[in-house]
Amino acid sequence: MSAAPGWGVWIEPLLPVPQLVDLVRLAEDSGAGYAFIADEGTDRDVWVALAAIALGTRRIRLVTGITNPFSRHPVATAAAFASLEELAPGRIIAGFGVGGSRVLGPMAIAPSKPFTALRETVEVVDRLLAREEVTFNGEIHLDAARIPWSPRRLPIATAGRGPRVEAFGSEVGDWNLVAGKPLVEVPGLLGRLRAANPERPARIAWSTYVAWSPEMIEEIRPHFTYATVDMPPETRALLGIDAATTERIREVMLRDGLHAAAHLVPDAVIHATAVVGDRQLVIERLDAIRRSAAPDLFVLAMNGYSTAAALIAEAAPLIHAAGFALATFEDTDGPRTRPFIRPVAQVAAVTSNR
């Protein structure tokens, strides 16, 4: 990457797909190098949205932000990633996590071993994209599955708010995605993630919301409903959120939606985890984290989607003033060597003998 870290956008597919395409195209034209598209189950389908965005943009990298092992079978997920790579060669990054309350709750999915399933899914998808034949019996099951037309292995990104997923990302990922953390914890966490694999550290993308007016703070409040519910208990305790408040937010959010539960989110959550203040203070706080934490990428999370285009247009100059660079698209995102991938010669030998 360039000497200065770049930036991107994190978008929940709450808008009609054509509008999502326009939004990502605006981000690309404003200097963003990456677009993370959320997979939330009841929103616009992440794969349909990404396919349309891939065809409607030119160079911006596209990331599932994030998909999970449970709402689709990993074979179908691998085939979807391979199909996207055909549409946008060299621009697709496979983003994985265990899934949160918004996506799994409406499906009545309560995984017994979510971390184990995540590890298995990442391995299986990576091997399928490498054109291996995969049989697997664990939390997930495959029987001689193959995707012989896969264009290539993809870079892998992982996201999770717990230490096991963070450590797993440092172990095997090309990108480690950090979001929903109190700002005071970000420099130390990023330092620990890099130290976990000093010979081949994963790149780190740090994401949060920004707001420079009271109206913008209220726009981002609904998004902190699921962030509060899904954050580690110790983080909630640090912010003074008890179990009863957490359960009440979860209940109202899943029954009536984000906006209905927004008033239950304490101000402390927003001020601890989002970059808020006047415009100059937003620049200074972003710059301070850029200097102290040194993320490889800052990812701007969208606030209210009726004003998303205005947010990108107004935030881009502030992000650049804080030292985050315009995308040059000169670097390449290639997958790292992972312990469960066989050498290419072995895969070719298996394929040629079929």
Does 332 have pLDDT greater than 80? no
User: Token digits for 10?
Assistant: 């994190």
| Amino acid (1-letter code) at residue 352 | S
Kindly report, residue by residue over 25-60, the tens digit of the pLDDT. Answer: 999 999 999 999 999 989 999 999 999 999 999 999
Does 13 have pLDDT greater than 90? yes
Mean pLDDT, the chain, whole residue set: 92
Pairwise CA distance, residues 278 & 250, whole Å:
31
What's residue 328's pLDDT? 82
List of domains in the chain: 6-211+278-339 (3.20.20.30)
What's residue 338's pLDDT? 73
Q: In this prediction, what percent of the chain has a pLDDT beyond 90?
A: 84
Which stretch of DSSP H or E encloses residue 142?
A: strand 141-145
- C-alpha distances (whole Å) from 73 to each of 45, 128, 329 are 15, 13, 32
Kindly report, residue by residue over 286-312, the tens digit of the pLDDT. Answer: 999 999 999 999 999 998 888 999 999
Evaluate the omega torsion of the peptide bond into residue 11 and state whether it is cis, within 30 degrees of 0. no
Nearest to 178 by CA among 10, 61, 327: 10
Kindly report, residue by residue over 54-100, the tens digit of the pLDDT. Answer: 999 999 999 999 999 999 999 999 999 999 999 999 999 999 999 98
pTM: 0.91
State the pLDDT confidence band at 170, using cuts at 50, 70 and 90.
very high
What's residue 306's pLDDT? 85
Three-state secondary structure call for residue 309: helix
What's residue 44's pLDDT? 96
Higher pLDDT, 343 or 272: 272
- C-alpha distances (whole Å) from 132 to each of 28, 83, 295, 298 are 34, 17, 34, 34
Average pLDDT over residues 266-278: 96
Kindly report, residue by residue over 108-129, the tens digit of the pLDDT. Answer: 999 999 999 999 999 999 999 9
Pairwise CA distance, residues 8 & 26, whole Å:
11
Which residues neighbour 266 within 8 Å (Cβ) at sequence distance 6 or greater?
239, 240, 241, 245
Average pLDDT over residues 122-137: 98
What's residue 340's pLDDT? 67
Which stretch of DSSP H or E encloses residue 87?
A: helix 74-87
Average pLDDT over residues 3-12: 93
Which residues neighbour 277 within 8 Å (Cβ) at sequence distance 6 or greater?
212, 284, 285
Q: Three-state secondary structure along 291-307?
A: HHHCCCEEEEECCCHHH
User: Token digits for 325?
Assistant: 């660079």
Which residues neighbour 94 within 8 Å (Cβ) at sequence distance 6 or greater?
63, 64, 67, 81, 125, 129, 154, 155, 156, 157
